[in-house]
Chains A and B, each alone.
Chain A
Amino acid sequence: MPERGKTRLMLAILAGVFAFLYVPISVLIALSFNAGGLPTAWTGFSVKWYGELFANRDIMHAALNTLIVAVVSTLLATILGTLLAVGVEIRRRKGRFLETIIFAPMIIPDIVLAIALLSFFSMLNVKMGLHTIIVSHVVFNLAFVCSVVRARLKTFDWSIVEASADLGASTATTLRRVVLPVLMPAVIAGALLAFTLSVDEFIIAFFTAGAGRSSITLPMQIFAMIRFGVTPEINALATLVMLFSVIALALSQRLNRGGLPGQ
């Protein structure tokens, strides 16, 4: 195949895939500005759905809850996950059991973990609320942070650690002054991945939430809205969530010049 033909084929593939990825989202974004709100007819440009969205106290409250859950669980997961990654990689001697435990949160079906945590918390008579969602989100978030950081550590040059030790630095100092700066981009990338997963997570949050409105998160709210049919406010919400994602991802890209999180 001549090079030109190949390039054309590649461009065609990209065009197709990007169309597939972006048409559905673009439709929602376009509809969010449709005065009528319905996908069947364009009735004029309007931002009224955004007005309704911001006036909807339930949605705003849920958004705030989601933010709290995501920020706190990400912070905790980033600290625990990074330490775990460094510990595992230093150890070198791999245990199957250890690997399984670290990997498990990423593969246990959400519904199983959700039900398990719900029964566990009620067995211990823990009052459920945002804090139980946070605790649960840390479980899978720390696993993801750990895997991102470990990927980075694979190419880490351990000789600089030895050098640092030879120069008399304590282990803690070495970790803080030598290892952490090198790992920082991966740590941030992992944190952003965790943050996004937490913002998106629905099933575990649903089951580990408390009874009151005070622990309803955004995905729970969205699920309730979708289930009751076509609600134009969702389009506006989708647009804002996308905007938010662009910013978050661009940020992670800047901070982690080496590549994308999860890579």
Chain B
Amino acid sequence: MKSDPSTLIPSLAALCATLGLAGAAAAEDLVISNWDGYMAPDAVDSFNEATGNSAELVLHGTNEEIMGKLIASKGAGYDVVFVSSPFAEILHKMGLAEELDHAKLPNIANLYEAATQLPHDPGNTFSVPYAWGTTGLCYRSDLLAEAPDSWWDLLTPAEAVAGKTTMLATDRWLLAAAQLAEGYSVNTTDEAELAKVKEDLIAAKKTLLAYDDTTFYAKLVSGEAELVQAWDGWCNYGIAENADIKYVVPKEGSDLWVDEMLILKASEHKEAAYAFVNWMLDAGNHRWAAENILYKVPNEAAMEGLDPALIEQYPNMGMSAEDLLGYELLMDVGEAQRAYAKTVSEIKAAN
């Protein structure tokens, strides 16, 4: 082949065309977006094999990340997304979530009765719960002088622990730590209460190592941190590596968070999307998910068959649905979202 510069333009055009085609071909797949490590590694392959679909999994790091993309693109390109319940509510209120046809989701019957009647979406009209749990304290029992049992142990840590604590970076959970400590609702829109929460968290920041949503358990394992605010399942990742790591729901309580599966209205593969959600709700598949991600799933049939050894090793896996439902569900706060965001900005900007 001779290398004449004049061949450059046509080959460039050809390359562009190929790229366009490659993009189009890939877009035929069912696209599922989930957090990294939040599904059994073989889940998508098993689904494809079982149903003859060709689904692909993409990952998002945080709720915010996927929300930004979904809102800007009106959901185009995605078929099934996993987000936490307040975010699911926003997607619904913005008209991006599909109204679910229960005839295509027979496995919803496997869910706990209560999980189908959650206050933000009674009757699962737009969302199906995938995992649920608590937010509490995850700590190194071998390094702390005494086991923590209150949110104040995190907010005003003992001197030896100061500088070795982390809190979640996401707005709602960061605020929840102080809201719970003060005995407020985790969905409060009361200005005075938010002001107090802000004050508590600014004070707590002085003793904080970092805000951390993704590596707090690794920091516990390495010893960088000794006491962290954590979602129960992620604390289990730490426990898996170091048995001295323990999890506790503080005496003031926890929020109840629910991570959900949504089908997007803009999806061009709705049949396959329904098939995927229904496949995931199958008792065996959902149990396999729980055993892999070490989070509780709101699927009664799945949880009944859970390996007792797992509960032995990770005690919070044994928390009952009744216990969980005793906590207040995180809900979208609507207009107050702006006040929440500003409060968090003030906390993060404080010295």
Any A–B CB pair closer than 8 Å: yes
A interface residues (Cβ-Cβ under 8 A, vs B): 68, 72, 75-76, 115, 118-119, 121-122, 125, 127-131, 134, 207, 210-216, 223-224, 227-230
B72 touches A211 (CB 8 A): no
A130: B residues at CB distance < 8 A = 19, 22-23
A224: B residues at CB distance < 8 A = 36, 59, 61
Known: A118-B73, A210-B77, A211-B31. A72 touches B56 (CB 8 A): no
Closest to B66 in A: A211
B36: A residues at CB distance < 8 A = 224, 228
Closest to A135 in B: B16
B214: A residues at CB distance < 8 A = 227-229
Taken together as a complex, chains A and B put the C-alpha atoms of A119 and B69 apart, in Å, by 9
Taken together as a complex, chains A and B put the C-alpha atoms of A217 and B37 apart, in Å, by 19
A129 touches B27 (CB 8 A): yes
A216: B residues at CB distance < 8 A = 58
B215 touches A72 (CB 8 A): no
User: B57 near A: Cβ within 8 Å?
Assistant: yes
B33 touches A211 (CB 8 A): yes
A225 CB to nearest B CB, Å: 9
Taken together as a complex, chains A and B put the C-alpha atoms of A227 and B65 apart, in Å, by 13
Taken together as a complex, chains A and B put the C-alpha atoms of A34 and B16 apart, in Å, by 41
B 63-87 contacts with A by CB, 8 A: 68-69, 72-74, 76-78
Closest to A119 in B: B72
Which residue of A76, A127, A228, A229 contacts B77 across the interface (Cβ within 8 Å)?
A: A127
A214: B residues at CB distance < 8 A = 22-23, 26
A121: B residues at CB distance < 8 A = 73
A145 CB to nearest B CB, Å: 16
B16: A residues at CB distance < 8 A = 72, 131
Known: A72-B12, A115-B72, A131-B23. A212 touches B218 (CB 8 A): no
Known: A72-B15, A229-B218. A129 touches B72 (CB 8 A): no
Taken together as a complex, chains A and B put the C-alpha atoms of A228 and B19 apart, in Å, by 31
B 290-337 contacts with A by CB, 8 A: none
Enumerate the 4 nearest inter-chain pairs by beta-carbon distance, A residue then B residue, closest first: A211-B77, A129-B23, A214-B26, A229-B218
B78: A residues at CB distance < 8 A = 211
Interface centre among B58, B72, B214 (most CB of A within 10 A): B72
Taken together as a complex, chains A and B put the C-alpha atoms of A130 and B25 apart, in Å, by 12
User: B20 near A: Cβ within 8 Å?
Assistant: yes
Taken together as a complex, chains A and B put the C-alpha atoms of A122 and B75 apart, in Å, by 9
For B196-207 the 0/1 string (1 means CB < 8 A from A) is 000000000000
A68 CB to nearest B CB, Å: 7
B22: A residues at CB distance < 8 A = 129-130, 214
B8 touches A75 (CB 8 A): yes
Taken together as a complex, chains A and B put the C-alpha atoms of A130 and B12 apart, in Å, by 15
Which residue of A72, A212, A228, A230 contacts B26 across the interface (Cβ within 8 Å)?
A: A212
Sample (15) of A-B pairs whose CB atoms are under 8 Å apart? A75-B12, A115-B72, A118-B69, A122-B73, A129-B22, A130-B19, A130-B22, A207-B72, A210-B27, A211-B69, A212-B58, A214-B23, A215-B23, A223-B61, A228-B36
For B24-67 the 0/1 string (1 means CB < 8 A from A) is 10110101010011000000000000000000111101000000
Taken together as a complex, chains A and B put the C-alpha atoms of A121 and B74 apart, in Å, by 11
B235 CB to nearest A CB, Å: 15
Which residue of B23, B57, B76, B215 contacts A213 across the interface (Cβ within 8 Å)?
A: B57
